[in-house]
């Protein structure tokens, strides 16, 4: 598409275009914009008056794609915009800088789309990640989705669970009332191909009744959020807050402790996870962290090392002599952070044990 504007300097026709790579300067580094990001920046620069004729030529999927790109675009300075415009037939210049965000995207969409369509697009953007309804539902917490579905007909639940990710469907089934869950399983086993019209009706109901409500009401579990805050404390501060909370509300304190991943929880890692963690740790830092560990945790690490490496580590710990508690706490905190980073990357698996865990010999 050709985009035309006048220069702010003299309002005269721009000169001949020059084609360059779409690399923009961001914080001293070059960032390559994708096609939809370049289009989003251009349309934001054009504004409603000049952008509307372009949007009129796009279908709904293209409008949604550009809207998403606008929301994630972030700040675009005048210099960045000028660099981008060189790629087009005529240089475009905007007054000052612009920023792609939710508000600016919504204002632009409202200039040429009806309110209900804009609301639907923005709700979808703000909602759970996913290219379609079923991917989005796979990113909704299992207990939240189950709480909604348990009020639906079992046949409808069967259709929904047959469309979302298998692993997520299993989690939803596990928290549904048992009698309902078995009814749903039976219906899923005998489920015939669903007519397109029925599927579209279910999607529409989910979008209007569930997703829109979820976007406005979903709230992160406060205990989970507080557990992450407590995890960031040093050991002494953590102990002080936990002790104080136990005096005020023991149930809250226990819930937070269950959700926290602490240094002692490293003993619960499996052999391969401990070995992966050992490969990422500085040996002196490991010695300092284990200096304040209990015997069980020390053995978990020693048993996953060669006898020679374990002996060297023990010698290093002894040669350190007395160390400050603060230094040990900091080393243990960094060790836990490394484990959590590895888990986030999928390199190890962290599982918190609970009172419901059972061991079978």
**CATH class for the region spanning 133-217:** mainly alpha
Architecture field, domain 23-113 = Orthogonal Bundle (1.10)
Residue 171 CB partners (closer than 8 Å, separation 6+): 142
Check for a shared fold between 23-113 and 133-217: yes
pLDDT, tens digit only, all 361 positions of the chain: 333 233 333 333 333 333 333 444 444 444 566 767 778 887 888 788 777 877 777 777 778 888 888 888 777 777 777 777 766 544 344 344 445 556 667 777 777 777 777 766 666 655 444 456 777 787 777 887 888 888 889 999 999 999 888 888 898 999 898 899 999 999 999 888 888 888 888 888 887 767 655 554 444 567 777 887 887 777 678 888 989 998 988 888 888 887 788 888 888 888 888 999 999 999 899 999 998 888 889 999 999 999 999 999 999 999 988 888 888 888 888 888 888 888 777 788 776 544 444 333 3
The total of other beta-carbon atoms located within 10 Å of residue 1's CB is 10
Closest CA to 137 of 68, 207, 192: 207
Closest CA to 123 of 201, 212, 208, 220: 212
Per-domain boundaries in the chain: 23-113, 133-217, 220-257, 261-351
Residue 127 CB partners (closer than 8 Å, separation 6+): 136, 211, 214, 215
Contacts 24+ apart (CB under 8 A), 4-12: 4/89, 4/90, 4/92, 5/45, 5/46, 5/50, 5/90, 5/91, 5/92, 5/93, 7/91, 7/93, 8/93, 8/95, 9/93
- State residue 184's pLDDT score: 93
- State residue 131's pLDDT score: 53
For the chain, the maximum distance between any two Cα atoms, rounded to a whole number of angstroms, is 84
Tell me how far apart the alpha carbons of residues 137 and 129 are, in angstroms, rounded to a whole number.
9
Quote the Cα angle for 351-222-253, to 5°. 70
- State residue 128's pLDDT score: 45
Tell me how far apart the alpha carbons of residues 347 and 276 are, in angstroms, rounded to a whole number.
8
Residue 25 CB partners (closer than 8 Å, separation 6+): 31, 79, 80, 83
- Coil, strand or helix at 347: coil
- State residue 67's pLDDT score: 85
**Chain position carrying tokens 């979302």:** 164
Axis crossing angle, helix 166-175 with helix 142-149, rounded to the nearest 10: 60
Handedness of CA 129, 130, 131, 132 (dihedral sign): negative
On whether the CB atoms of residues 133 and 120 are closer than 8 A, the answer is no
- Classify 327 in phi/psi space as left (phi over 0), alpha (psi -120 to 50) or beta: alpha
Task: State phi, psi for 23 to the nearest 5 degrees.
Answer: -110, 120
- Distances from the Cα of 166 to the Cα of 135, 161, 172, angstroms: 11, 8, 10
261-351, CATH topology level: Annexin V; domain 1 (1.10.220)
- State residue 36's pLDDT score: 74
Helix and strand numbers, DSSP H then E, in the chain:
20, 4
Tell me how far apart the alpha carbons of residues 180 and 182 are, in angstroms, rounded to a whole number.
5
Tokens at residue 167, please?
Answer: 């692993």
Closest CA to 134 of 86, 194, 185, 55: 194
């Amino acid at each position: 598409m050709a985009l035309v504007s006048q220069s702010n300097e003299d309002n005269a026709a721009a000169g001949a275009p020059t084609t360059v790579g779409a690399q923009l300067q961001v914080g001293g580094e070059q960032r390559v914009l994708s096609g939809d990001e370049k289009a989003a920046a251009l349309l934001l620069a054009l504004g409603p008056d000049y952008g509307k004729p372009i949007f009129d030529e796009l279908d709904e999927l293209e409008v949604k794609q550009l809207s998403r790109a606008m929301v994630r675009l972030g700040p675009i300075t005048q210099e960045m915009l000028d660099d981008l415009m060189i790629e087009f037939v005529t240089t475009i210049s905007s007054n000052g800088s612009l920023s792609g965000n939710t508000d600016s995207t919504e204002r632009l969409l409202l200039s040429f789309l009806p309110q209900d369509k804009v609301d639907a697009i923005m709700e979808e953007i703000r909602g759970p990640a996913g290219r379609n309804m079923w991917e989005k539902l796979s990113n909704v917490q299992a207990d939240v989705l189950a709480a909604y579905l348990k009020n639906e007909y079992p046949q409808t639940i069967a259709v929904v669970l047959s469309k979302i990710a298998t692993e997520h469907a299993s989690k939803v089934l596990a928290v549904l009332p048992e009698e309902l869950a078995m009814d749903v399983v039976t219906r899923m086993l005998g489920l015939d191909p669903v007519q397109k019209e029925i599927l579209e009706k279910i999607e529409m109901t989910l979008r209007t009744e569930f997703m829109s409500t979820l976007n406005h009401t979903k709230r992160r579990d406060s205990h989970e959020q507080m557990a992450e805050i407590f995890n960031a404390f040093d050991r002494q501060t953590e102990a002080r807050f936990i002790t104080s909370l136990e005096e005020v509300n023991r149930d809250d304190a226990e819930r937070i402790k269950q959700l926290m991943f602490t240094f002692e929880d490293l003993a619960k890692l499996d052999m391969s996870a401990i070995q992966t963690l050992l490969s990422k740790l500085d040996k002196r830092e490991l010695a300092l962290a284990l200096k304040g560990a209990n015997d069980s945790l020390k053995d978990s690490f020693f048993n996953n090392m060669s006898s020679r490496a374990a002996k060297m580590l023990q010698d290093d710990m002894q040669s350190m002599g007395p160390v400050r508690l603060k230094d040990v706490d900091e080393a243990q905190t960094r060790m836990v952070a490394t484990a959590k980073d590895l888990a986030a990357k999928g390199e190890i698996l962290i599982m918190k044990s609970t009172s419901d865990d059972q061991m079978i010999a």
